[in-house]
A = this chain, B = another copy of it.
Amino acid sequence: MRAPYGLNILDNCTTCPSRGEHLFCNLSVQASQRLNEVKSTAVYPKGAMLFIEGQLPRGVFVLCTGKVKLSTTSREGKTIITKISDAGDVLGLNAVISNRPYEVTAEMMEPGQANFIPRDSLQFMIKDFPEAAGKIAQQLSRNYFTAYEEIRTLGLAASPSEKFAKLLLTWSTKTTNDDGSSQVKMTLTHEEIAEVIGTTRETVSRLFSEFKKKQLMQLKGATLVIRSRMALERIVQS
Contacts and interface: CB of A to CB of B under 8 A. Distances in A.
Interface of A: 72-76, 78, 80, 82, 93-94, 97-98, 100, 103-104, 126, 130-131, 133-134, 136-138, 140-145, 147-148, 150-152, 154-158, 198, 237
Nearest to A100: B145
A158 B80 CA distance: 12
B198 A155 contact: yes
Question: Which 7 pairs across A and B sit closest by C-beta, in order of nearness?
Answer: A130-B130, A133-B133, A98-B141, A140-B140, A154-B154, A74-B156, A80-B155
A106 B148 CA distance: 15
A78 B140 CA distance: 28
Q: How many chain copies does the complex carry? A: 2
A198 B154 CA distance: 9
Contacts of A73: 156
A140 to B, nearest CB: 4
A76 B152 CA distance: 13
Contacts of A136: 137
Contacts of A137: 97, 126, 133, 136-137, 140
A76 B237 contact: yes
A155 B75 CA distance: 13
B237 A142 contact: no
A4 to B, nearest CB: 27
Contacts of A103: 145, 148
7 contacts: A74-B152, A74-B237, A93-B141, A103-B145, A104-B148, A130-B134, A144-B144
Contact of A151 (B75, B150, B157): B150
Contacts of A126: 134, 137
A80 B158 CA distance: 12
Given A98-B138, A103-B145, 18 more contacts: A72-B151, A72-B156, A73-B156, A74-B157, A80-B155, A94-B144, A94-B148, A97-B141, A103-B148, A104-B148, A126-B137, A130-B133, A137-B140, A140-B144, A143-B144, A144-B144, A150-B155, A151-B154
Contacts of A150: 151, 155
A237 B75 contact: yes
